[in-house]
Amino acid sequence: MQRVTLVDVFKHRITQKYLQRSGIHHAVTVAGHAFDLALKEKVDPDLATKAALLHDMGHYEWYRDGKWDYEEYRKHDIHAIKGAERAHKLLIRLGEDRLVAKEVSLAVLLHTDSYLPFELEGKRTKLQEVVRKADEIDEQPLGMHHYKKMDKSVAIQLLNELDQKVEVILDDQV
Ligand SMILES: [Fe+2]
């Protein structure tokens, strides 16, 4: 089966629709960090980069009266749940392997515990921890990392480079 690439994932209309809210810059940057961490932790870089790229696609309602209300947002936040569902649906539509889609979706669901009534520390798998860490590296106070800009063409170029690096690793494992 041919690999579903990061560029395939990025170009899909579902991704385009939902990644705008949390920011393309953040998504692509976290995917890059996830690749580096995956190599270090001996985690599948294909799963890690896909989960990282999609980890915030569940974000919604950033603004209130033209301004983003962080407190209000945190109170009602279920972005990881929505993101996990969207990521799964998207990957299945792209023809992704069902087990990969499930693993990626779970890593999206558990990339943060900020919306949960308990902590996940020490309970994540290596893949889930890689995605959490990759996100943390790019985080800025008050969610400012979501406002950094990146052109779609630059994002595609960077993801294409990342795809090539992932494929080199996957080829080596065969
Ligand atoms: Fe994030």
Whole-number Å distance, alpha carbon 139 to ligand 1 midpoint, is 7
Q: Tell me, what's the pLDDT at 20?
A: 83
Q: What is the pLDDT of residue 44?
A: 97
pLDDT over 90, % of the chain: 78
Residue 137 lies in a domain: yes
Q: Report the CATH number that the domain containing residue 124 is assigned in CATH.
A: 1.10.3210
What would the pLDDT profile of 32-66 be if each residue is shown by its tens digit? 999 999 999 999 999 999 999 999 999 876 666 67
Q: Which domain holds residue 123?
A: 6-173
Q: How far is the CA of 170 from the centre of ligand 1 (A)?
A: 26
In angstroms, the CA 57 to CA 110 distance is: 13
Is 1 within the bounds of a domain?
A: no
How many domains are contained in the chain?
1
Task: Check residues 150 and 144 and name the one with the higher pLDDT.
Answer: 150
Cα(36) to centroid(ligand 1), Å: 17
pTM of this structure: 0.93
What spacing in Å lies between the alpha carbon of 1 and ligand 1's midpoint? 30
Distance in Å, CA 172 to ligand 1 centroid: 30
Q: pLDDT tens digits, residue range 149-159?
A: 999 999 999 99
- Ligand 1 midpoint to CA 129 (Å): 13
Task: Write down the pLDDT at residue 61.
Answer: 61
Distance 56 CA to ligand 1 centre (A): 5
Average pLDDT over residues 134-154: 91
Is there a domain that residue 88 lies in?
yes
Has residue 40 been placed in a domain? Answer: yes
Q: Ligand 1 centre and the CA of 174: distance in Å?
A: 32
Span 95-101, average pLDDT? 97
In a domain, 63, yes or no: yes
